[in-house]
Amino acid sequence: MKLSGIRVPHRKHTADCAPQRLPVPELVTIPMSMHIGKHAKPIVKVGETVKVGQLIAEADGFISAPIHSSVSGKIKKLDELTMSNGTKTTAIVIESDGMMEVHESVQPPVVNDFDSFIAAVKSSGVVGLGGAGFPTFVKLGVKDLSKIDAVIINAAECEPYITSDTRTMLDKPELIFDGIELLKKYLGTKRVIIGIENNKKACTAKMQQMADNTSGVEVKVLPSIYPQGGEKVLVYNTIGKIVPKGGLPLDVGAIVINCTTLSSIAEYIKTGMPLVEKCITVDGSAVNEPKNVIAPIGTPLSNLFEFCGGFKSEPKKVLYGGPMMGIAVPSLDMPVLKMTNAALAFDESEAKPPKTTACIGCGECINHCPLNLNPPAIAKANKLNLPEELKALCADLCMECGCCAYVCPAKRPIVQNNKLAKAKLNKYIREQKEKEGGK
């Protein structure tokens, strides 16, 4: 791996904006698919009364996560919801009573060893809050703890606009370090590295101040080069090790966990309140008053934008997440998810797709890919329907960071091409496994 990537405008307009709490929404729509893995299974019925923190859906498989009510009120319906990525899932729609009564089950868990710690992390409903959504209890449930040489706290927040992790570091530093102590105690972690970009001076100072009083913790200040927060990139830039092809950070002795994810775990173990709300950066060229907003999971995005003074111009594109890796939403009725760290709305001047021209073979996409992939060759193999070639080109390693498309002078839809190539390759791999299993 080479030190590659791109320099993007930071646009951290809301870094100094302390989060403001949104008024309780009238309705929340809580999807059963807010994590990587199998969808959660609803355990409530229409007409049932629920309270904040109450379990309303249980994990339905090893890689899955439980879901809790974010408001108190009545179950209005169980509906089918089409997510922004096109998948369909069940959603629990709750009519809020505005009271925000806390369920009696919300009590700090008893944690006294590794197994009870992992069980608590699972019960919290916490998933990767940097955007990935991988169930955190699975990531931390390492069978051989001796393999862990370092835990890397991802505090890079390298996407433009997003400052929700910044606010966690500034507003809840004690919870991050409570989480670090939990990892040290129950995972036996001796070395903890907080990886943070050098454009977050206030956060760096706060983390360094806390680290100075905590043994085994170091703050690693990194260049502001996107995608610094990519897991494999962060591992390389903090401990100098290359995660092998198809491997995980644990293969090189590392676990990577987002700073807000860690603080959420610590908060659950301290208070017993599971993951029911998010701090979301609301920004973009169409937004009147950019803010950081605390909202219950399931809140319609329209409520966030209304709370931020509405739109100063007609939004032509609205995203979950940042402008590099975010996903466009089909409607402002789409809900806040566990992984939602930003809701961005852009006017026509920024949302209009650029005119695409023919590839000129400049190689800029190759030069700036942090994983050394070859996008033109991947596009050609995909067009010619050559899955074996896609496999040889490691198309499935693409993390869809968007560096290639950002630097392309021809404005080629490289990320979309890579996604299609990955889908084709994954289908081919599944079919090959099925054939082998049939022999």
Quote the pLDDT of residue 438: 58
Residue 434: pLDDT above 90? Answer: no
Question: Which residues make beta-bridge pairs with 347?
Answer: none
Q: Two tokens at 131? A: 């955007």
Residue 426, classified by CB atoms within 10 Å of its CB into exposed (0-12), middle (13-18) or buried (19+), is middle
Quote the pLDDT of residue 119: 98
Mean pLDDT computed over every residue of the chain: 96
Predicted TM-score (pTM) of the model is: 0.95
Residue percentage of the chain with pLDDT more than 70: 99
Quote the pLDDT of residue 3: 53
User: In 3D, which of 21, 76, 22 has the Cα closest to residue 47?
Assistant: 76
Question: Which residues make beta-bridge pairs with 80?
Answer: 90
Q: Which residue has the tokens 């040889």?
A: 392
Over residues 311-341, the pLDDT tens digits come to 999 999 999 999 999 999 999 999 999 999 9
Mean pLDDT is lowest, of 284-288, 403-407, 409-413, 432-436, for 432-436
Quote the pLDDT of residue 131: 79
Over residues 345-386, the pLDDT tens digits come to 999 999 998 999 999 999 999 999 999 999 999 999 999 999
Quote the pLDDT of residue 317: 97
Angle, helices 114-124/259-271, rounded to nearest 10 degrees: 100
Quote the pLDDT of residue 27: 98
Q: What is the mean pLDDT of residues 249-274?
A: 98
Residue 1: pLDDT above 90? Answer: no
Over residues 106-146, the pLDDT tens digits come to 999 999 999 999 999 999 999 999 878 999 999 999 999 99
Distance CA 136, CA 152 (A): 14
Q: Does domain 116-271 have CATH number 3.40.50.11540?
A: yes
Q: Two tokens at 54? A: 């109450």
Residue 4: pLDDT above 80? Answer: no
Residue 176: pLDDT above 60? Answer: yes
* Confidence grade of residue 439 (pLDDT, cut at 50, 70, 90): low
Those residues with Cβ within 8 angstroms of residue 352's Cβ, 6 or more apart along the chain or in another chain = 316
Domain boundaries, the chain: 116-271, 364-438
Residue 432: pLDDT above 60? Answer: yes
Q: Find the Cα–Cα–Cα–Cα dihedral 233, 234, 239, 241, rounded to 10°.
A: -30
Distance CA 396, CA 246 (A): 9
Contact 80, 91 (CB under 8 A): yes
The two beta strands, 192-197 and 277-283, are: unpaired
User: In 3D, which of 401, 127, 142, 398 has the Cα closest to residue 255?
Assistant: 142
Over residues 295-308, the pLDDT tens digits come to 999 999 999 999 99
Contact 171, 18 (CB under 8 A): yes
Residue 437: pLDDT above 90? Answer: no
Over residues 54-107, the pLDDT tens digits come to 999 999 999 999 999 999 999 999 999 999 989 999 999 999 999 999 999 999
Residue percentage of the chain with pLDDT more than 90: 95
Backbone angles phi, psi at 256, to 5 degrees: -110, 130
Q: Which residue has the tokens 């590839």?
A: 359
| Order of strands, sheet of 20-21, starting from the edge strand that comes earlier in the sequence | 20-21, 291-296, 277-283, 342-346, 317-320, 327-328
